[in-house]
């Protein structure tokens, strides 16, 4: 079990567990330094910080931003940035408004295909979280249209499916600049999802200023980890690791900390954050 996990989601975005639950479970599983990286929001960080302080965990401020690179969907993890930054929060508010409009369009498409649900109910399920497709999926299960969240994605909501509605996203250079200007570093998440040959994309993102590569990802085998290590080493990038925990029960899900992230690699990543001068948290709080 890894002592660090830098890719975690909660009910503040599309996870199914509260930020406090994520902190408690991480601690119980031996994780000692971590980051809550909800999609396009920092709303869960206050709750996570309070619980991390109680447990003596080291919590690094985090977020996951969605960007477009040509026809590819690129996710960028931001770490150690100034959570209180007004420009950052204004952007995130704009992103949330885009998610609301996207949800309404998805509901319309589903109704047109004989699967009516109410947008109001989707927003109720999301609660204070940033609404997303998992909340629509749960509404579909509740209405009896599908048997599970996974089925909802497999048949209707997954990438390229009938009700997959794209939302406005940042260009990668703008996202990287935003995180940098607000005191953070940028790590490319799960590069294997960008393209079969992800190397050119990683090289381009590095040229735009991306600082790191998520190397020790949840289901990567030894060969994939080694390939990422070589690529990151050649490009001079720091190497992070994360479980991408959502708690959705998908076949390839991993539990918090269940990642091929050796302690020495965790230490090296944290040291790179410290060298960059970002907020890396301290035991019982944040710096």
CATH number attached to the domain at 92-157: 1.10.150
What is the per-residue pLDDT for 200?
A: 97
| pLDDT score at 148 | 92
The predicted structure's pLDDT at residue 277: 95
DSSP state letters, 126-165: HTTSPP-HHHHHHHHHHTTS-SSHHHHIIIIISTTSTT--
pLDDT in single tens digits along all 287 residues of the chain: 789 999 999 999 888 899 999 999 999 999 999 999 998 899 999 999 999 999 999 999 999 998 888 878 899 999 999 999 999 999 888 877 887 888 999 999 999 999 999 999 998 888 766 688 888 999 999 999 999 989 999 999 988 899 998 776 679 999 999 999 999 999 999 999 999 999 999 999 999 999 999 999 999 999 999 999 999 999 999 999 999 999 977 777 899 999 999 999 999 999 999 999 999 986 433 33
Q: How large is the angle between the packed helices 19-28 and 45-55, nearest 10 degrees?
A: 30
DSSP for 156-195 reads IISTTSTT------B-HHHHHHHHHHTT-EEEE--GGGT-
pLDDT value of position 106: 95
The CATH number corresponding to 4-89+169-276 among 1.10.3720.10, 3.20.20.140, 3.50.50.60, 3.20.20.70 equals 3.20.20.140
CATH 1.10.150 domain locations along the chain: 92-157
Q: State both tokens at 18.
A: 């509260």
**Cα(216)–Cα(226) distance, rounded to whole angstroms?**
9
pLDDT at 130: 66
Angle subtended at Cα 68 by Cα 62 and Cα 72, rounded to the nearest 5 degrees: 110
How many CB atoms are closer than 10 A to CB 140? 25
Looking at residue 286, what is its pLDDT? 38
Q: pTM of the entire structure?
A: 0.82
pLDDT at residue number 94:
82
Count Cβ neighbours within 10 Å for each residue of 212-225 and write b for 16 or more, e otherwise.
bbbbbbbbbeeebb
- Residue-level pLDDT at 287: 36
Domain with CATH 3.20.20.140 in the chain: 4-89+169-276
182 vs 90: CA distance, rounded Å: 13
Q: What are the tokens at 167?
A: 């939302």
If 0-12 CB within 10 Å is exposed, 13-18 middle and 19+ buried, where does residue 269 land?
Answer: buried
């Amino acid at each position: 079990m890894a002592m660090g996990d830098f890719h975690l989601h909660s009910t503040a975005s599309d996870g199914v567990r509260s930020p406090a639950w994520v902190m408690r479970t991480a601690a119980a599983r031996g994780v000692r330094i971590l980051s809550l990286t909800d999609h396009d929001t920092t709303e869960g960080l206050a709750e996570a910080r309070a619980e991390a302080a109680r447990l003596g965990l080291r919590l690094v401020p985090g977020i996951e931003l969605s960007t477009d690179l040509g026809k590819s969907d690129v996710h960028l993890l931001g770490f150690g940035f100034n959570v209180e930054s007004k420009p950052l929060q204004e952007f995130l508010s704009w992103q949330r408004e885009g998610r609301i409009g996207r949800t309404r369009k998805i509901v319309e498409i589903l109704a047109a295909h004989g699967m009516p649900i109410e947008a109001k109910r989707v927003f109720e399920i999301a609660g204070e979280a940033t609404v997303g497709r998992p909340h629509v999926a749960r509404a579909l299960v509740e209405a009896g249209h599908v048997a599970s969240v996974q089925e909802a994605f497999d048949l209707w909501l997954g990438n390229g499916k009938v009700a997959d509605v794209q939302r406005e996203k940042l260009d990668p250079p703008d996202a990287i600049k935003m995180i940098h200007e607000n005191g953070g570093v940028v790590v490319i998440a799960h590069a294997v999802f960008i393209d079969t040959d992800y190397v050119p994309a990683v090289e381009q993102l590095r040229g735009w200023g991306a600082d790191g590569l998520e190397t020790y990802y949840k289901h990567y085998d030894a060969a994939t980890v080694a390939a990422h290590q070589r690529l990151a080493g050649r490009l001079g990038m720091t190497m992070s690791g994360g479980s991408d925990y959502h708690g959705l029960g998908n076949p390839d899900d991993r539990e918090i900390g269940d990642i091929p992230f050796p302690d020495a690699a965790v230490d090296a990543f944290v040291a790179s954050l410290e060298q960059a001068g970002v907020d890396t948290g301290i035991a019982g709080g944040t710096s």
